[in-house]
A and B are shown apart, each in its own frame.
Chain A
Amino acid sequence: FPEVSHFVFCSGPGAGQDVGRSCILVSIAGKNVMLDCGMHMGYNDDRRFPDFSYITQNGRLTDFLDCVIISHFHLDHCGALPYFSEMVGYDGPIYMTHPTKAICPILLEDYRKITVDKKGEINFFTSQMIKDCMKKVVAVHLHQTVQVDEELEIKAYYAGHVLGAAMFQIKVGCESVVYTGDYNMTPDRHLGAAWIDKCRPDLLITESTYATTIRDSKRCRERDFLKKVHETVERGGKVLIPVFALGRAQELCILLETFWERMNLKAPIYFSTGLTEKANHYYKLFITWTNQKIRKTFVQRNMFEFKHIKAFDRAFADNPGPMVVFATPGMLHAGQSLQIFRKWAGNEKNMVIMPGYCVQGTVGHKILSGQRKLEMEGRQILEVKMQVEYMSFSAHADAKGIMQLIRQAEPRNVLLVHGEAKKMEFLKQKIEQEFHVSCYMPANGETTTILTNPSIPVDISLGLLKRETAIGPLPDAKKPKLMHGTLMMKDNSFRLVSPEQALKELGLVEHQLRFTCRVHIQDPRKEHETVLRVYNHLKGQSLIFSLPRVLKDYSVQHLPDGSITVESILIQATAHSEDQGTKVLLVSWTYQDEELGSYLTSLLKKGLPQSTS
């Protein structure tokens, strides 16, 4: 018998109420899928990677997980992947989009270099591990249905956010989960908006970084940004914009490039080297993932070829005069951006603009929360005199965007991850109020169980479907109809067939149950006249009483042999053996006509209408 309830487990070895990193485990109808495999940028120790002992205590990762899905190339979503696959050990498939597959190993290698080569940390993954890990990656197209195995399928949707970012639908039978990763519901200068169809998942797992923010219009923020950069440069200051090499950086470059062009500005703009040119090249080659406008005009003018923005050299940081520098990484936790920051922090003419979210523990987070005296390595105290500005350019959906996505996908349950508890609580209430769906917000490592109640798909024989569609007083296709069939369950297949077919397939014979009722009525006339009166009565043609035709939807017939049929019910009249004034009507029907037969006997029992003739 069909099992009616399934469970969707969702647990986070490292997502939950924390923006630090994403790593979610979903069990859906017996399949285990890991969503993202991020690292925490705020830690430099074991806490950096998710704790996979959560899974490995019960055996090997490969045996337990059916697949791993990576939503986009940010390290808080894929940074632990080589650790997970090569150091803990996972050999199953890892799915990501083509741009993610292209860019992810470069960011991983970059991060590895900073951690191992510069900071000298050991027990970290190696270049070879990154390569071996990437060999396990299967690239997916947008909207392609990937059959992971016979039951499990996944499908990617465009998510905006960064080049190649995707939301994923995970489906087993008629149960499904949608995982958004990070997404962006408004198109920006280089990417389009996230989109999903009305796929009605049982569960929508959505990020909630900006759970409470309703951000002001993009144009205003852009104008604000340009104004601040412009003012600083005018007074001879230096502007540092810490960014990740791919993503926001390209959007802000396009913004500054057009502004410099328009205002005819001369101050140099630099982009920290290495990744940059490469990064722009990725945008050129994966231009189909950018927004409509860029795609349309790329043959005439490639937006990622910049005239004003030049490669940065370390020596430039000490140059006098104004300049704008984009430097990686974005949270000022290591590398070039941190170096430049230390050089410029002491001068109040300078400005640092943080265009994205910063994880707790990073220098970026500290200065944004107002800290002006920072303890650096070697107990050195760095006093921050430069202006610190925060501009939310990171392409996450805000509360409005999250609500919009829920409206698009129409999930039955919503689960919030990748956000801060307080803000999530606010959003949770809002979602429950507006959509009347359950909303969950598990803590890190907490397991949420969601009961689903799927309908059961079965095969119905076309004969039965056509038959049941054909009967009924009005052939109105929209009106529901009553149908009767037999559900045959064999192995794991369910077939709904006509009762006759079920009997036949099982080699059984129908048992006919028939009733014959004797109805006595007072009528002195000859039998055939009685029959005629009964016939007229049933036909509703009695002349005296303008009775409604009582059986108007049924076929009533007077047969030549003197009997009457109402549909398949047979009525015959015989004389009573003792009483001449009484006739006996024999009403005979099968069990299948039970209701009509029963009705006819009670109707006839009431007698026939009087006739004057």
Chain B
Amino acid sequence: FFQYCLSGHPTLPCNVLKFKSTTIMLDCGLDMTSTLNFLPLPLVQSPRLSKLPGWVLKDGSTFLDKELKECSGHVFVDSVPEFCLPETELLDLSTVDVILISNYHCMMALPYITEYTGFTGTVYATEPTVQIGRLLMEELVNSIERVPKAQSASMWKNKEVQRLLPAPLKDAVEVSMWRKCYTMPEVNAALSKIQLVGYSQKIELFGAVQVTPLSSGYALGSSNWIIQSHYEKVSYVSGSSLLTTHPQPMDQASLKNSDVLILTGLTQIPTANPDGMVGEFCSNLAMTVRNGGNVLVPCYPSGVIYDLLECLYQYIDSAGLSNVPFYFISPVANSSLEFSQIFAEWLCHNKQTKVYLPEPPFPHAELIQTNKLKHYPSIHGDFSNDFKQPCVVFTGHPSLRFGDVVHFMELWGKSSLNTVIFTEPDFSYLDALAPYQPLAMKCVYCPIDTRLNFIQVSKLLKEVQPLHVVCPEQYTQPPPTQSHRTDLMIDCQPPPMSYHRAEVLTLPYKRRYEKIEIMPELADSLVPLEIKPGISLATVSAMLHTKDNKHVLQLPPKPPQPPASKKRKRVSDDVPECKSLKPLLSGSIPVDQFVQTLEKHGFSDVKVEDTAKGHIVLLQEAETLIQIEEDSTHIICDNDEPLRVKLRDLVLKFLQNF
């Protein structure tokens, strides 16, 4: 049992588990923090960005000035942004049998895996995960493809050159593995390999392993996975939440009795309370708008945005914001809002109850109906006609490197009336803002990460009591910036096994049993015997059939009848074909009763001698001697087969078969 760790990002995991005879990939997250090293992709030409000076080395050489630009002391790659893929060399990914997806954020590397590694297996995910995952991919592809960039920089990736660069470019890992975004045909091909599953659905893999998704409470359709055979259970916990937001609550009970619990996707902001952050979000938003400024909320098109819209729905009237337009701009804005309303079965209880009425589960339907919230595929087209300021704009991408958000950063950045509010926790807001510096607009950081924090983790682990915990190394020490906060790490006994990118772990458990089925005919033929009170035994000699990793025991075939005539048979024909398996024996032979039995069977000249360890029974006429001791019997006789067989069977009567 091995775990191959292909991603170093604790919330965008990609692990491969070798479990029994199957190879299972757990998530394939795409690390997009790499894009922070690139210049933003503006939708409309930005004079500011195009005028940035090329980067010059200390020694004055300028050979990189086409590829690297400098902005307020930071150096950026002027090229199509690239992503850091999971490790592809650690094992042959074409041997992966299945990929289990835990939530839509953790499947963004899927096309790279399914389309480029010879993968021929199946991907399992819930319906909301697939639908919303598709929307996220569509938005990503769209926002990169619609701004064609002539330049694709690669010189800086040269190891010798990279050494000369300033941080963070100097320290960027595996830059040679960074890849450009996939295309829609690749996304479609990847998604076509997905098989939809429901919570608590048991999926058999090759008869050897059963996998089951469980509700993880983090996002629509988000799941944890149980990977188990009859005797061992691995729980994969990835992106779980115990807070009451819109998704179905987390199923904790089913995680009990795990041999190994793999724990990934904890909160990235352990010190921030999501509720407090939402409050801060609302008040900052209201303040800015009241002062005549605009609010920009860089966000993903699904997820926390539903909760934010719901908060605003309750908040806008009381805050006097009824006349402020809310815009949601994304190529998938409409789809995301529509899809959110049709997954009743994946929602929390309150929202389900609304659907039963029947009413849309999310109040953004009403916001749209009353024209308070408007959605547009992009800033082009209808939006430019409807656009009124001051307003609130929700748009992506949260990295501020591509998507419509780049336009609003350029448009509103110069005025201190405006505010950008960061709610997504995936990117450092300072890094995200770096290529826009100097900025006059206000920046507010209200990261909302509903995933488990360390207090919740320790409660969860106490509750479900796994034998072993495996987690990314980041969770076994306090965050680097808060090294005194020893409470911000996983604390459990035995201490967790940690992993880092490109590591192979051996998971600690030992199997001792396997399931086998005894066919009814064979079961009927068994003769159980009570050996001790409550314990019965039956010896089983049977044919073992193994197919698709399932074992079945059947009655052995009837022994062939001994041939009537041996005359023409060659000697070799009589050789026993396979070793017939005789049982072990146990028990002891009471000499007096044995002698009586012998006499009953016609042996008249039985003589018994005592020895140090037992007895010797002599059959004088047959020149046969039977040594009987506590744990052994030895029959020594002439080559008289009928006699030997007769004696053997008499001895066996006193012994128990095993």
Interface residues of A (CB under 8 A from B): 1-2, 4, 98, 101-102, 139, 141-146, 155, 278, 281-282, 284-288, 298-299, 453-463, 465, 468-469, 471-473, 477-478, 480-491, 495-496, 499-500, 502-503, 506, 508-520, 547-551, 553, 591-596, 598-599, 601-603, 605-606
Contact = CB atoms under 8 A, between A and B. Distances in A.
B518 A458 contact: yes
19 contacts: A1-B538, A2-B523, A98-B344, A139-B352, A141-B201, A145-B202, A285-B358, A287-B342, A459-B514, A465-B514, A483-B553, A488-B535, A489-B537, A503-B658, A510-B658, A513-B648, A516-B637, A520-B639, A548-B570
Contacts of A139: 345, 352
A175 to B, nearest CB: 12
Interface residues of B, number: 94
Q: Which of B543, B547, B575, B584 has the most CB of A within 10 A?
A: B584
B532 A506 contact: yes
Contacts of A459: 230-231, 513-516
B578 A473 contact: yes
Interface string B218-236: 0000000000001100000
A485 B544 CA distance: 11
Contacts of A155: 201
B585 A489 contact: no
A506 B551 contact: no
Contacts of B547: 478
Contacts of B352: 98, 139
A34 B337 CA distance: 40
Contact of B528 (A1, A299, A484): A1
A496 B523 contact: no
B428 interface: no
Majority-rule SS of B interface residues: mixed
B580 A516 contact: no
A139 B535 CA distance: 43
Contacts of B571: 547, 550, 603, 606
Contacts of A482: 541-544, 556, 578, 580-581
B51 interface: no
Nearest to B341: A285
Interface string B522-551: 011010100110111111111111110001
A477 B655 CA distance: 35
Nearest to B580: A595
A499 B579 contact: no
B462 interface: no
Nearest to B519: A455
Nearest to B512: A462
B342 A298 contact: yes
B452 to A, nearest CB: 24
Contact of B358 (A278, A502, A506, A601): A278
B358 A141 contact: no
A496 B540 contact: yes
A485 B637 contact: no
A602 B641 CA distance: 8
A469 B544 contact: yes
A602 to B, nearest CB: 7
A4 B585 CA distance: 28
Contact of B344 (A285, A477, A503, A603): A285
B585 A487 contact: no
B584 A551 contact: no
Interface string B569-599: 0111011101111111111110000000000
Contacts of B535: 488-490, 506
Contact of B516 (A101, A141, A457): A457
B654 to A, nearest CB: 9
Interface in B588-633: 588-589, 631-633
Interface of B: 127, 197-202, 212, 230-231, 334-335, 338-339, 341-345, 352, 355-356, 358, 360-361, 511-520, 523-524, 526, 528, 531-532, 534-547, 551-554, 556, 570-572, 574-576, 578-589, 631-639, 641, 644, 648, 651-652, 655, 658
Contact of B200 (A144, A469, A550, A594): A144
Contacts of B355: 98, 102, 285-286
Contacts of B534: 490-491
Given A281-B358, A489-B537, A512-B631, 7 more contacts: A145-B201, A285-B355, A458-B517, A465-B544, A465-B551, A480-B544, A499-B658
A44 B575 CA distance: 81
A483 B581 contact: yes
Contacts of B202: 145
Q: Top 10 A-B pairs ranked by shortest CB distance? A: A484-B581, A499-B658, A499-B584, A141-B198, A512-B632, A143-B201, A102-B356, A460-B516, A459-B513, A144-B200
Q: Which of A142, A285, A595 has the most CB of B within 10 A?
A: A285
A486 B585 contact: no
Contacts of A502: 537, 658
A146 B212 CA distance: 12
A347 B543 CA distance: 77
A239 B641 CA distance: 97
Nearest to B584: A499
Nearest to B554: A480
A592 B546 contact: no
Nearest to A288: B342
B537 A487 contact: yes
Contacts of A602: 574, 641
A59 B658 CA distance: 48
Contact of A483 (B338, B513, B541, B641): B541
Q: Which of B528, B552, B572 has the most CB of A within 10 A?
A: B572
Contacts of A2: 518, 523
A503 B584 CA distance: 9
Contacts of A463: 512
Contacts of A593: 582
A327 B358 CA distance: 21
Contacts of A299: 334-335, 338-339
